């Protein structure tokens, strides 16, 4: 590459940006000049159009193609329900499905509970800001980063060597034998779930803490005057007051958990029976060279996410009606 080439590429890029800006400006200008009555529908179309087109290319077309792929074999020939039969008959594939259920059951419940309790405990305390920061920090770390950090936490050396994994060091200093934490099922899946909880608790805590502050003080005072204990007030006043936030938190974490890939990939790569649907999807489609099986797993994942999304939307809509 010569300097001239580079300059050429730079100019090309700059020209591209300029053309884009001019086109957008032109559209806005024309819209503004249109007759008032037409304006709203025309504006709607012009503004939504590009987004809808991109959605079609980026979401709808791939979804349709994946659905077709799920019924084909390695060479792209139609093979009926074979991929789904494989999914529900292979013990390895079954463990993958089972693990995924364990993940979506445990992670949202545990991280929301810990986040909620923590938010209540530190509410209005002196160092609230700092306590919040401590728990929120893992959220800022990428999943891959978190996976690598925790792989070191669980690292194993046999008993006669110095441990460098924190967890095993603790076990050894308490007089125990070091454990191969990531190698035996179902303990290893739980160990991976811990990582996800570690990441998601901060999110639950932040959202719920804000919601708790939104519960009207009058309601709590009234309950106190009526003689409700602190625990009763929490259960009868605070919880109903933050119900919609709770739903959002639980469902958001649930969806994130369903798609969990990075943590499993970096820590065990799905070995030792730790695989989950999203990881298996990638492995089948790209490593095993079975795009059909990968697509079938993707469809299953889609089917599993849908009810959660629908529920989430319904709760949000109901909330809007009340307001």
Write out the residues near another protein by the rule CB under 8 A. 1-3, 6-7, 10, 73-76, 82, 86, 90-92, 156-161, 180, 182-184, 265, 269-272, 282-291, 293
Of 128, 113, 183, nearest in space to 151 by CA: 183
Which one, 200 or 283, has the nearer CB to another protein? Answer: 283
Q: How many CB atoms lie within 10 A of CB 172?
A: 17
Which one, 83 or 111, has the nearer CB to another protein? Answer: 83
Which one, 243 or 287, has the nearer CB to another protein? Answer: 287
Of 234, 229, 233, nearest in space to 208 by CA: 234
- Find the shortest distance in angstroms from Cβ 286 to another protein: 4
Which one, 75 or 121, has the nearer CB to another protein? Answer: 75
Of 140, 274, 124, nearest in space to 194 by CA: 274
Of 191, 153, 181, 150, nearest in space to 169 by CA: 153
Token pair 């076990």: residue: 171
DSSP string, 105-136: HHHHHHHHHHHHHHHHHHTT-TTHHHHHHHHH
Which one, 3 or 321, has the nearer CB to another protein? Answer: 3
Contact between residue 270 and residue 280 where contact means Cβ atoms under 8 Å apart: yes
* Cis peptide bond N-terminal to 159, omega within 30: no
Helix (H, G, I), strand (E, B) or coil at 78: strand
Alpha carbon 167 to its chain centroid, in Å, reads 26
Which one, 3 or 41, has the nearer CB to another protein? Answer: 3
Q: What are phi and psi of 260, to 5 degrees?
A: -60, 130
- Find the shortest distance in angstroms from Cβ 173 to another protein: 18
Length of the chain: 323
Which one, 233 or 293, has the nearer CB to another protein? Answer: 293
- Find the shortest distance in angstroms from Cβ 281 to another protein: 12
């Amino acid at each position: 590459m010569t300097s001239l080439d580079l300059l050429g590429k730079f100019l090309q890029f700059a020209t591209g940006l300029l053309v884009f800006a001019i086109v957008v400006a032109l559209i806005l200008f024309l819209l503004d000049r249109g007759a008032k009555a037409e304006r709203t529908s025309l504006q709607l179309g012009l503004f939504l159009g590009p987004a809808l087109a991109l959605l079609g290319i980026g979401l709808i077309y791939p979804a349709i193609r994946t659905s077709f792929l799920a019924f084909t074999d390695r060479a792209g020939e139609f093979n009926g329900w074979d991929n789904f039969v494989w999914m529900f008959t292979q013990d390895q594939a079954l463990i993958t499905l089972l693990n995924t259920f364990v993940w979506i059951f445990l992670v949202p419940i545990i991280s929301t509970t810990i986040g909620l309790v923590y938010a209540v405990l530190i509410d209005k305390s002196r160092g609230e800001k700092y306590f919040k920061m401590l728990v929120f920090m893992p959220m800022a770390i990428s999943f891959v980063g978190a996976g690598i950090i925790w792989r070191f936490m669980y690292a194993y050396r046999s008993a006669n060597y110095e441990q460098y994994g924190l967890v095993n060091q603790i076990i050894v200093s308490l007089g125990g034998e070091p454990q191969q934490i990531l190698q035996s099922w179902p303990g290893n899946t739980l160990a991976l779930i811990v990582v996800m909880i570690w990441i998601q608790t901060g999110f639950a805590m932040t959202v719920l803490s804000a919601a708790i502050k939104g519960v009207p003080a009058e309601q709590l005072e009234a309950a106190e005057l009526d003689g409700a204990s602190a625990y009763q007030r929490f259960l009868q006043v605070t919880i109903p007051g933050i119900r919609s936030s709770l739903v959002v938190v639980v469902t958001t974490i649930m969806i994130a958990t369903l798609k969990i890939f990075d943590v499993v990939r970096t820590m065990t790569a799905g070995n030792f029976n730790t695989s989950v649907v999203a990881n298996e999807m990638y492995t089948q489609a790209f490593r095993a060279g079975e795009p059909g099986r990968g697509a079938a797993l993707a469809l299953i994942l889609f089917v599993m996410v849908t009810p959660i999304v629908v529920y989430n939307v319904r709760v949000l809509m109901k909330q809007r009606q009340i307001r």
